[in-house]
Amino acid sequence: MEFRYLGNSGLKISEITYGNWLTHGSQVENDVATQCVRAALDEGISTFDTADVYANTAAESVLGEALKGERREGLEIFTKVYWPTGPKGKNDTGLSRKHIMESINGSLERLQTDYVDLYQAHRFDVETPLEETMQAFADVVRQGKALYIGVSEWTADQIRAGVELSKELGFQLISSQPQYSMLWRVIEGEVVPTSRELGVSQIVWSPIAQGVLTGKYKPGQAPPEGSRATDTKGGADMISRFMNDDVLTAVQDLEPIAKDCGLTMAQLAIAWVLQNDNVAAALVGASRPEQVGDNVKAAGVKLDDDVMKRIDDALGSVVVSDPGKTAEGTPKARVV
């Protein structure tokens, strides 16, 4: 495993970070989830990312139980706040001071820890003044409940405003967690240049495009049974944007490139996002322990310019690069 600094801070994290979205507390049994976490630890992964909304808080509980007994100082534990949780009352969502203060306490209890290393705003809250949100985060840091603050799926302008306020309030906003893959490059035009300027790193989710970049989905064929594309609990919705024959045909052209590099297609996809110097870590999940070991082999891989060009040529026009897609993903009102 290799480690990278997170933003303009002294915190190092594993460049392959284990995330438990769509798996722990929902898709896989708790004992298998624990086996996946143990496999991650065995492979040298020290950084674990979750959120209170995953499986409506159950994912945090599963992760906390799986990490019990580990040396806390040797781990970096991340979670998030924004989406509705619990009974989903009028204040059980968003980035108000009330919701942040109550949510951090719940997350710490479920994770069985006194603090998280990174507490992230899971989306931008258009209904709460940014000053209120940032003051609440500042107080969470001063109370020792979080060491650093990050955001997820914020636009470049939102990140800039957040960083300016964080500096005024005396804490560090050091990370952004966007979707990023060979197929989904919307952060490259605005978010990455702004983040690089401000000392903010990316922790990218879905580097394998919800499994599409493994090559297991074939054009003109039904998705394999048990795959994410058949998951009616949410996985199928997320992957649907890539499930068309143009994309799936282009992805098949990546197979010889991966083979020439001595990598699986999934490893090639993870290695690709790690070539971006603003990316601190690629988030990977697993429904089976052996998947963790496979993904970790992407750590430390360097792809030369010729390989990067071959990838671009193979994918061509199916790549989504419009920076406006980040703003489109910002909820226009709090979700209840």
Residue 279 has pLDDT above 80, yes or no: yes
Could you give the CA distance from residue 120 to residue 107 in angstroms, rounded to a whole number? 12
Q: Any catalytic annotation for residue 54?
A: yes
Could you give the CA distance from residue 41 to residue 71 in angstroms, rounded to a whole number? 11
Strand, coil or helix: 53: coil
Residue 135 has pLDDT above 80, yes or no: yes
| Range 168-189 average pLDDT | 97
CA dihedral 84, 323, 2, 268 (to 10 degrees): 110
Element (H, E) at 64: helix 58-66
Average pLDDT in the chain: 92
Architecture of domain 3-208+267-301+319-328: Alpha-Beta Barrel (3.20)
Query: How many angstroms separate the first and last alpha carbons of the chain?
Result: 40
Could you give the CA distance from residue 209 to residue 245 in angstroms, rounded to a whole number? 15
Residue 107 token pair? 């997350």
What's the pLDDT at 235? Answer: 60
Q: Residues 18, 54, 82, 180: which is the catalytic one?
A: 54
Q: What is the pLDDT of residues 282-309, one digit of tens each?
A: 999 888 899 999 999 999 999 999 999 9
What's the pLDDT at 148? Answer: 98
Q: What is the pLDDT of residues 33-91, one digit of tens each?
A: 889 999 999 999 999 999 999 888 989 999 999 999 999 999 999 999 999 988 888 99
